[in-house]
Amino acid sequence: MPAVSKGDGMRGLAVFISDIRNCKSKEAEIKRINKELANIRSKFKGDKALDGYSKKKYVCKLLFIFLLGHDIDFGHMEAVNLLSSNRYTEKQIGYLFISVLVNSNSELIRLINNAIKNDLASRNPTFMGLALHCIANVGSREMAEAFAGEIPKILVAGDTMDSVKQSAALCLLRLYRTSPDLVPMGDWTSRVVHLLNDQHLGVVTAATSLITTLAQKNPEEFKTSVSLAVSRLSRIVTSASTDLQDYTYYFVPAPWLSVKLLRLLQCYPPPEDPAVRGRLTECLETILNKAQEPPKSKKVQHSNAKNAVLFEAISLIIHHDSEPNLLVRACNQLGQFLQHRETNLRYLALESMCTLASSEFSHEAVKTHIETVINALKTERDVSVRQRAVDLLYAMCDRSNAQQIVAEMLNYLETADYSIREEIVLKVAILAEKYAVDYTWYVDTILNLIRIAGDYVSEEVWYRVIQIVINRDDVQGYAAKTVFEALQAPACHENLVKVGGYILGEFGNLIAGDPRSSPLIQFNLLHSKFHLCSVPTRALLLSTYIKFVNLFPEIKTTIQDVLRSDSQLKNADVELQQRAVEYLRLSTIASTDILATVLEEMPPFPERESSILAKLKKKKGPGTVTDLEEIKKERSSDMNGSAEPTSVNASAVSTPSPSADLLGLGAAPLANSAPPPSSSGSLLVDVFSDSASAVAPLAPGSDDNFARFVCKNNGVLFENQLLQIGLKSEFRQNLVISSLISFLNHFLCLNLQTKPVDPTVDGGAQVQQVVNIECVSDFMEAPILNIQFSPKQEVQNIFKAKHPMDAEITKAKIIGFGSALLEEVDPNPANFVGAGIIHTKSTQIGCLLRLEPNLQAQKWLVTMDVMTENLAIDLVFLQKFSRTIGPFVAFQVANQDFDHKHSLKIFMSSSCSQVGRLAKC
C-alpha cells in the first residue's frame, strides 16, 4: 500500500469528529451534524470546483455521519468522481463510500462498473486490489454479471502479482457464493488447481478456499486437486516452524492453510493412488504424533492453533473411515481431551467421538471411555457439554451396555436442564426399544421414564410402548400387572393413566385372576383417576370401560351406571357425551357375540419405522448423531410396530378410522370391469345441506362424502368394514392420467392416465393410486368411479365360551359339525383343526377351520377358510360354528337361491361400526 502523505491527514475531518464527541446531548449532536451537512451541500453545489482533497474530506464526513445512523441522500456522484483520481487515498475513499452506501439498484452502478473496469485493466496492482475489494464487498448480482468473466482471467494470468491473485481468488469466491449460476466453469478451473503449488502461501490459502467451495458443487472438475493438496499438506506438516516464518503462528506452521487443505480433502473419498494415500496417511500420523509432544509455548494461541489442525485431521480420518489404526488413535487422542481443563476442548472431543462411534473400526475404542463420559454427565457445569455427553452415550450404546447407559440417562433426567429433557426422553425410549432383549425391562424403563419426566413424554413415546406390548404376546401379562401397580401411586402422571387405561382395556383379563387385581378393583382404580384427567384421556378411559364390559361381564352393571350418569350423558364436551351415549347403548342392546366381535383385542400393528426415531431426527435435523441409526449396519433393527397407534387391521372385524392419514392411502385390490349401466345424475350439488343432491347411485356410505368434496380436496371418499378409500386432489393446468378405474358411459369429456399398482393389499396396509385427469370439455352428468375388490376368503371370530372347554366335547362338536378332525397338523397340540366339503346342488365347496382355545380368558378363536370367492358363505358358516361351540342356536343355510350379498350386508351391519372408534383410541 502506498504511503500516506503528510497532507492527507484531513484536519477538518478530525475537528468534526472531535466536535461530535464533545456534544453533551443528542440534540446538540443533531444540530452539529445538520450544520455540517448544510456546509457540505453548499460546497458541492458551489460554483467553485473542488479539488480532490476537498472532495475526499467531505465524502469522508458524509461516510462518518452515515455510520452514526443518519441518512445520506447526496454526495454519491462526488464519490464516483473520486474513483477516477490517480491518487491512492482519494480512490480508496471513493471505493469505501461506494461499498458502504451505494446499493445495487442505484442509477450510478453503470458509472461505478466502468470505473472498476478501468482499474482492473490498468495493471496497477494497488488500483486492481481496490477494485476487487469493492466487487467483493458489494457482491451484488449486477457485479457478478459484469465481472464474473474477467476475474478468473486475472486469477490465472501469469503476470498477475501475488497480492492481486489473493484478492481475485477471494473476490471470485464471494461472487460464486452469491450468484453461482453466473460464474462460468471453463479452462481456468484446471489452471486454478495448480495455484496449490504456488510459492506464495497467501495465494495458496486463498486458492484453497475457492477450490473447496467449487469442489463441493463440481467435484469431478477439481478431482486433480487431491494429490496437490496432499503434497502441499505434507510439506507443511513435515517442515519446522522456522521454515515458514511469515506463516508460522506461535510455533505452528501455517495452521490456517493446513485446516483449509484438510477440509478440501474431506470433499473426496480416500485417494485411489497408493502413493498419494500413503503420503496422506503419513501426514495424519505426523499430526497425531505432534499432538502428543510437549507444547512449545504456554500461550493459549499456540494450543488453539495446534488443536485446530488436530481436530480437522481427526475429521478427515472419520470422513475416510478406512484406516482402523488411525481411527483408534484418533479416539484415544480425543479421550485425553475428555478430562481437559478447557471446556471447549471437552465439547469438541465429545462431538467428534459421537461421529467416531458410528465406525465399525472405532466403536469398541469409544466404548472404553464410557465411565469418563458418564462422569462428565454428572459433573459438567456447562449444559452444552452435558448435552454432547448424552449424544455420545446414545451413539456408543449397543446390546452390551444398553442397560447401563439407559439407567444413567434416567438418573440424569431427574436433574437435567429443561431445555434438553424432551430429547433425552426420546433417546431413552429409542435405546430401550432398540436393545431390549427382555421386554419386561423395556416396559419397566418406559414406565419409569413417564414417572420421572411425564411432562416431556410425547405421544409418540406412549403410543410406541402400546404398539410393542400389543405385538408381543410374551409381555402382555407383565405389562398389565406393572401398569396396574404403577397406577396405585397417589399421584400418577396423565401419560401413565393413558398407558394404563389402554393396556388394562386390552389385557386386564390376564391379571383378573388375582384377587388383588380383580375386575372391579381395576375399574375402580382407573375411574379414580378419571376426574383428574384431560378430555382426551377421559375419552380413552371411556373406551377402556366398554372394553371391560366385554372382558368382565360381572361388572357390566357398574360400568353402565357410570356411563348413565349425568356427568357423562350431559357432559359439556361433545366427544365425551357421544362416547358415553354410544357405549351405553352398545352395552345394552348388543348380544354377547357382537360385543366380542366389536370389542376384541387390537390386532398387531404393521411394521414401520419407529415414530420416536422419526421425531428425534426431525428435532435434531439432518447430519447429527441421530443419523447414526442408518450408519450402524450391524445394529439390530427396530421391533415390529407402526408409527401410530391409530392404525387398524383391514379385516372383516375392524373398521379403519375415518381420521386415518390419507396422504398415502390407496384402495384395496382393484380390478377393471365393464362399466355398470348408465345412470343420469345432476352435477349440481347442494353443498350447504347435510346430504348430497340427487346424483348417480353410489356405493352405500359414499353419498354424503360426495357432496363434501365439492368444497374440499382431501378426505375419506368411501369406507366400509373391509376398505377405506381416501382422496387427495391437486389441480394444475394441462395434466394427463389413469388407474384400475372405469367411467360410466365411456365418459368422453375426461382423459385419464394411471400408474400401475400392486394388485394385492395386505391387511392394515395402504396402497397409493395416482390418477391424472384431464378435462377435455364441459359436461352435465357426474362421472362415476367404479372400483371393485375381492377380499380374502379367510375370516376369524373371537367369542366367549358358554360351556366347559373340554377337549373331548369340543372334538365331538367339530365332528358333529360335519368336518373331519385332523390330528397333529397344527404346531400347537391344544388347537383343533378340521376340514370338510360343503355339498350344494351346483357345486362343492371346500372348508377348512382351526379352533384355538384360551383357557385363561375362557374364549375361542375360530378361523375359517372357504374355497369360494363369496365371503358371505364364510361368514354364515362362521356364525353357525361360533354359536354351536358357544350357546347352541339353530342356524340354517338358505337354499340355492340364498342371497349372499344380502347376508353379507346384514352380518356386517350387526358387527357394529364402533370398531373404528375403539381402534382410534
Annotated ligand binding at 347? The verdict is: no
Residue partners of 380: CB distance under 8 A and separation at least 6: 346, 386, 389
Cell numbers standing for residue 839: 355339498
CB within 8 A of 585, min separation 6: which ones?
Answer: none
Contact 749, 648 (CB under 8 A): no
Spatial neighbors of 344 by CB under 8 A, at least 6 apart, are none
Phi then psi for residue 836, to 5 deg, are -165, 180
Q: Has 58 been labeled as part of a binding site?
A: yes
**φ, ψ dihedrals at 822, nearest 5°:** -105, 125
Look at residues 325, 324, 323, 389 and name the one whose alpha carbon lies nearest to residue 351. 389
DSSP assignment of 712-774, as one string? -SEEEEEE-SS-EEEEE----SS-----S-EEGGG-TTEEEEE----S---TT------EEEE
Q: Is 43 annotated as a binding residue?
A: yes
| DSSP letters spanning 345-408 | HHHHHHHHHHHHTTSTTTHHHHHTTHHHHHHHHHH-S-HHHHHHHHHHHHHH--TTTHHHHHHH
Each as own residue / partner, the long-range contacts of residues 844-848 (CB below 8 Å, 24 or more positions apart, any chain) are: 845/873, 847/819, 847/877
Taking the alpha carbons of 499, 502, 507, 511 in that order, is the dihedral positive or negative? positive
Strand partners of residue 682: 781
How far is residue 489's CA from residue 80's CA, in Å, rounded to a whole number? 80
User: Can you state the angle between helices 324-337 and 300-320, rounded to 10 degrees?
Assistant: 140
Instruction: Tell whether 11 is in a known binding site.
Output: yes
Pairing assessment for the beta strands 820-822 and 832-839 based on DSSP bridges = antiparallel
Measure the CA–CA gap between 450 and 377, rounded to whole angstroms. Answer: 21
Q: Of 261, 264, 315, 270, which Cα lies nearest the Cα of 288?
A: 315
| 61: helix, strand or coil | helix
**Nearest alpha-carbon partner for 388 in 356, 352, 429:** 352
Q: Cα(448)–Cα(464) distance, rounded to whole angstroms? A: 15
Distance, CA of 308 to CA of 186 (rounded, Å): 34
Transcribe 836-898 into DSSP letters.
EEEE-SS-EEEEEEEEEEETTTTEEEEEEEESSS-HHHHHHHHHHHHHHHSS----PPP-TT-
Distance CA 846, CA 838 (A): 6
91 in a known ligand binding site: no
Asked if residues 236 and 262 have their Cβ atoms less than 8 Å apart, the reply is no
- Residue 550 grid coordinates: 366385554
Distance between CA atoms of residues 199 and 191, nearest Å: 15
Assigned C-alpha cell, 557: 352393571
The DSSP 8-state label assigned to residue 682 in this structure reads B
CB 586 within 8 A of CB 912: yes
Element (H or E) spanning 799, and its range? strand 794-800
12 assigned to a ligand binding site: yes
Are 742 and 735 in contact by the 8 Å Cβ rule? The answer is: no
Tell me the C-alpha distance between 355 and 320, whole Å.
12
Q: Which residues contact 832 (CB under 8 A, 6 or more apart)?
A: 810, 811, 814, 821, 826, 850, 851
Using CA atoms, how far residue 498 sits from 432, 462, 484, 526, 717, in Å, is 20, 8, 12, 10, 32
Contact 120, 150 (CB under 8 A): yes
Residues 6 or more apart whose CB falls under 8 angstroms from that of 796 comprise: 651, 652, 653, 861, 862, 863, 864, 878
Q: Which residues are annotated as a binding site?
A: 11-12, 43, 53, 57-61
